[in-house]
Amino acid sequence: MSNVYIFDTLPEIRFDITGAYLDTGLNLDDSGFIAGVPKEEIEDGAYKIGIYIKKGDMEALQYIMTDNVIVKAGNSADLLGRM
């Protein structure tokens, strides 16, 4: 896995997340997002998914805690088990 791709996201309201964590007292309604990934811009191969956040001078990158990978081949992309 040597290719890295970064795509913009759009915010999505998630009232259900706040509801699931009521005991924390946190409002997590704004914790959702949607990412559109244009398959024609990605080379065929297996990829891990990560989330990159930048706000002002703060930056963070976290790969999703799973052994699953996305495998892109031609016009299809599928979620598979361990790489």
Cα radius of gyration rounded to whole Å, the chain: 15
How far apart, in whole angstroms, are the C-alpha atoms of residue 65 and residue 14?
Answer: 21
- Spatial neighbors of 21 by CB under 8 A, at least 6 apart, are 28
Helix, strand or coil for residue 78?
strand
pLDDT digits 0-9 by tens, 7-38: 889 999 999 999 999 999 999 999 899 988 88
The pTM of the full predicted model, rounded to 2 decimals, is: 0.62
Look at residue 81 in the predicted model and tell me its pLDDT: 64
